[in-house]
Amino acid sequence: MTDTITPYRSTVPAARDGLPALVRAEWTKFRTVRGWVVAAVVALLLMPLFGLLGAAGSHGEVGGGPGGESRAGHRAPPTGPGGEAVNDGPYFVHRPLAGDGTVTVRVTSLTGVVLPLGNGPGGLGGPAGGGPAGPAGVPPTEGGAQPWAKAGILLKESAEPGSAYAAVMVTADHGVRLQHNFTGDTAGPPGAVTADAPRWLRLTRAGDLLTGYASPDGEAWTTVGTVRLPGLPSSVLAGLFVATPGDETFEQHLGGFESIGEPAAATATFDELDTQGGFAGSDWSGQRIGATGRPGGAPGTGDPLVEGGFDVSRGTFTLTGSGDIAPFVTEGAAAVERTLVGTFATLTVAVVLGVLFIATEYRRGLIRVSVAASPRRGRVLAAKATVIGAITFVLGLVAAAVTVPLGRRLLRDNGNLVLPTDGLTELRVVVGTAALLAVAAVLAVAVGTILRRGAGAAAGVIVLTVLPYVLAVAAVLPAGAAQWLLRITPAAGFAIQQSVVAYPQVGHPYTPVAGYFPLAPWAGFAVLCGWTVLALGLATYLLRRRDA
């Protein structure tokens, strides 16, 4: 009862109660209980089952026609140099550039309008990628430029959608930016462009280094940034561009959120254009990137605002365009983690297994035998955690590795647009799912050791790990509260499954309902690990201090 008692030290040879022997003992305990093995198999099956169920209940909406159900307008977005899905539909006025060169221009205005669809929501895909646009005859509404409407200098590998590029630009609400290859974004001087406060821009190519500059007066230049475009061919296209995302409003309601998208058009005026370096010819040609089969920008829908166009008079260029040049972010597309919706079910079973693994020992009194066999009690716990962690990791890995390709295939067959994911990210999602299950099961063992009561421990761990996820994903809570929950509870670990990236340069509600966790994947996983380490520490302490 006093602190002066020396803890018991076993005299059993280390080889008898070494960790490998204990792990083997715990493994034997696990595999010889038929109910647990059945539960493990059930856990293995639940993930593909719910993944396929979720995929079966999702039919294509992206790029749907006016009815929202048509698959005719379904069109996968191009992929950028990094392998991610992108929007690439700016209006681009260019000349070929061989080797190094510099473009300087003054932007004097950037305005925009919203093009109503006239048939309600349904333009999920927006105007980008050559999708359907508003019918002719509906007058555009004055909505002002979209916050991320862009105008400036673009240097692009080719007119192919998705090809490498770098651009220095002014935006409506986000100042000067230097963007490259869709995902790269560097902020420059803030402030919008007006007739009273025009903005000079300059983009210089030197090898595969591109440098963007901005200036308020054409005299004093500040460097916005330098980007490297490895493998950029010597011969590229360079010139002026205008781009704008569609007008989207989002409304969260119980159970999900709705996005109502309408295409938008932006118009920019440029003057004092100056080109230096290896430019060939003197004729500027304009085209909407991605508008295949319509060379020269011939109207396809009859709406010049949608198709875009340009006009030169006395050195003043006026460009109009309706597509964006940015990463593809839309609610309607399915990310790969959509197929892993069954993780929570497998996790529930894994937690129950983890709790049972220790709680049954207390219920049956087996714990006394266990600690008699291995008086170093911490090792008993370590062996249990190792065994349950390894089992759940393996079954999670198998389940996820089977579910992802099957689910993706079913989603595609149902006409869904599945976002492309690069191999490393997909590996992280699959292995991370397995790790998430393993760590949650270890957390369950620790909490089971602390509480020594199976039902209470299982309820506690499930409520801590699954309930915040449910409340956040099913939009029961407002986005702010949901993000807060997913930062501090073990449910933060679900972030490891997120393959989509929140791009600040694309206006979108990056909320849990839309599949965006508040923490980065590994940071969220670290929160879960932190909880587990704390619980394991407390469990070890209590196991040593208490009578078994």
Where on the chain is the footprint of another protein (CB under 8 A)?
Answer: 39, 50, 53-54, 57-59, 61, 253-256, 332, 334, 338, 341, 344-345, 348-349, 351-352, 355-356, 359, 363, 416, 454-459, 462-463, 466-467, 469-471, 473-478, 480-481, 484, 513
Identity of the amino acid at 518: P
Q: Are 236 and 95 in contact (CB under 8 A)?
A: no
To another protein, the closest distance from the beta carbon of 506 in angstroms equals: 21
Q: What is the smallest separation between the CB atom of 524 and another protein, expressed in angstroms?
A: 18
Q: In the bound complex, what is the minimum distance in angstroms from residue 2's beta carbon to another protein? A: 29
Cβ closest to another protein, residue 299 vs residue 478: 478
Using CA atoms, how far residue 13 sits from 16, 18, 368, in Å, is: 6, 9, 19
Nearer to another protein, 341 or 429 (CB): 341
Q: 453: Cβ–Cβ under 8 A, 6 or more apart, which residues?
A: 359, 362
Which residues lie closer than 8 Å to 423 by C-beta, 6 or more apart? Answer: none
Q: State the Cα–Cα distance between residues 21 and 139, nearest whole angstrom.
A: 78
| Dihedral angle over CA of 423, 428, 429, 433, nearest 10 | 150
Least Å distance, CB 66 to another protein, is 17
**CA torsion, points 385, 387, 391, 392, in degrees to nearest 10?**
0
Residue whose CB is less far from another protein, 203 or 447 = 447
> How far is it, in rounded angstroms, from Cα 376 to Cα 370?
10
Q: In this complex, which beta carbon is closest to another protein, that of residue 232 or of residue 341?
A: 341
SS3 307: helix
**In angstroms, rounded to a whole number, what is the distance separating the alpha carbons of residues 247 and 115?**
9
| Residue number with CB closer to another protein (156 or 508) | 508
CB of 79 to another protein, least distance (A): 22
CA quadruple 121, 144, 271, 224: dihedral, nearest 10 = -90
Residue 418 DSSP symbol: B
Closest by Cα among 263, 252, 324 to 516? 252
Smallest distance, Å, CB 452 to another protein? 12
CB of 75 to another protein, least distance (A): 18
Q: CA-CA distance, 390 to 317, in Å (whole number)?
A: 65
Residue 468 structure tokens: 């915040």
C-beta of 319 vs 513, nearer to another protein: 513
Q: Which residues contact 364 (CB under 8 A, 6 or more apart)?
A: none
Residue (133 or 485) nearer to another protein, CB: 485
Shortest CB 226 distance to another protein, Å: 42
CA 197 to CA 11: how far, in whole Å?
A: 84
Q: How far is the CB of 341 from another protein (least distance, A)?
A: 5
Decide whether 186 or 252 has the Cβ nearer to another protein. 252
The nearest distance, CB 459 to another protein, in angstroms, is 4
Please say which residue, 217 or 413, places its beta carbon nearer to another protein. 413
Rank residues 363 and 546 by Cβ distance to another protein and give the closer one: 363
Q: How far apart are CA 42 and CA 51, in angstroms?
A: 14
Residue 218 CB, nearest approach to another protein (Å): 43
For residue 105, how many other CB atoms are within 10 A of its CB?
23
Identify which of 143, 38, 76 has the alpha carbon closest to the alpha carbon of residue 415: 76
Dist. CA 241–CA 483, nearest whole Å = 37
CB of residue 466 vs another protein: minimum separation in angstroms? Answer: 6
Q: How far is CA 486 from CA 329, 410, 467, 503, in A?
A: 22, 29, 10, 19
Q: Which is nearer to another protein, 39 or 394 (CB)?
A: 39
Angle at the Cα of 11 from the Cα atoms of 8 and 14, rounded to 5 degrees: 110
CA–CA separation, 378 vs 376, rounded Å?
6
DSSP string, 331-381: TTSBPGGGGGTTHHHHHHHHHHHHHHHHHHHHHHTHHHHHHHH---HHHHH
**Between 103 and 334, whose beta carbon lies closer to another protein?**
334
Burial (Cβ within 10 Å: 0-12, 13-18, ≥19) of residue 68: middle
Nearer to another protein, 71 or 544 (CB): 71
C-beta closer to another protein: residue 484 or 503: 484
| Least distance CB 329 / another protein (angstroms) | 17
CB 85, min distance to another protein, A:
17
